[in-house]
Amino acid sequence: MKRTLTVLLSALLSAASLHGGDAEILATLKSKGAAFTETRGVVTAVSFSDCAQLTAADYGLMGQLGAVKQLGFGRGFDDAGLRAIGSAGGIENFSTNGMDVSDEGIRVLGTWKALRSVAFFHPGKRLKGTGLAALTQVERLTVAGSLEFADEGMAAVAALSQLKGFRTWHSGVTTEGVRKLAGLKNLTGVYVGQRLSYTAPVTLSDEVLPVLAGLPLLEEVTLSEARLTLGALGELKRLTHLKRLTLDGIALSEGDVAALKQQLGKTDVRWTAPSEAGKKRIDALFK
């Protein structure tokens, strides 16, 4: 097994050598726990599930990578690490899971000119979302798993008129926050999921369906963990480009699902009923 891993790493680094100094940098990052993704024999993605071993110098090397288009970080990633990376002009996709970066720190990403997709899963409490307003070049954004990300953060998202895709769930967002999406007329995809709570207010309810129905370019809509009515969902028939509607863990009768499919015509409607745990939470939220 050890020999196999050695051979694989050698092959990856050999391919990377076609792109300037990437091979040497990747060797250093590999020793610090990096995982690589290869595309056509070239390392195009680097990720760390744990950033404990990384120094400012290590982060600085990542900003120099030529062929790498995607960076991912887990726990231990913070403002200092983000600043140390620098401008990272070639990175197109950036994701984190469990980071501790502040709103001020996030503004650094606004200098990454090639950046088009950003996803923050379970960000730390210092991220409220206000810094997201700096991401004026990003086309797809996800913020999930943070009660600190709430309506104030959604106001910053609402300023990103260039967004084509936005996803949020298990956040602190209320229906008022979702209403702020009304001005994002370039959205082609949206995912709105429920807050992870047993008490009001809710994130997703009938009230937000007219808002989504007013986003004219939507092709894909995903809604999760809520009690919605056929009448409200019927608003989505105004979306003439809607190709797929996913209702994940939505409290709705099978009869209403069948009627909705008929109303939405050619739209691919996919529905799953709530699990027992999901049903208890929905019942508590919508009592």
pLDDT in tens, 227-239: 999 999 999 999 9
CATH of domain 160-287: 3.80.10.10
The C-alpha atoms of residue 49 and residue 36 are separated, in whole angstroms, by 12
- Asked if pLDDT for residue 97 goes beyond 70, the answer is yes
Please determine whether the domains at 1-138 and 160-287 fall in the same fold group of CATH. Answer: yes
DSSP string, 221-249: EEEEEEE--HHHHGGGGG-TT--EEEEEE
The C-alpha atoms of residue 62 and residue 46 are separated, in whole angstroms, by 9
User: Taking the domains of the chain in order of start, what are their residue ranges?
Assistant: 1-138, 160-287
The C-alpha atoms of residue 285 and residue 64 are separated, in whole angstroms, by 48
- Asked if pLDDT for residue 18 goes beyond 50, the answer is no
pTM of the model: 0.92
Residue 83, phi then psi, degrees to nearest 5: -65, -40
- More reliable by pLDDT, 21 or 41: 41
Q: What is the Cα gyration radius of the chain?
A: 21
Q: Is the peptide bond before 201 cis (omega within 30 degrees of 0)?
A: yes
Mean pLDDT for 133-158 is: 98
DSSP H helices in the chain: 2-16, 22-31, 56-62, 79-85, 103-106, 151-157, 175-179, 209-213, 230-233, 254-263, 276-285
The C-alpha atoms of residue 283 and residue 206 are separated, in whole angstroms, by 15
The C-alpha atoms of residue 23 and residue 3 are separated, in whole angstroms, by 19
Which CATH number among 3.80.10, 2.30.29, 1.20.1070, 3.40.1800 corresponds to the domain 1-138? Answer: 3.80.10
pLDDT band at 3 (very low <50, low <70, confident <90, very high): low
The C-alpha atoms of residue 114 and residue 198 are separated, in whole angstroms, by 40
- Asked if pLDDT for residue 98 goes beyond 50, the answer is yes
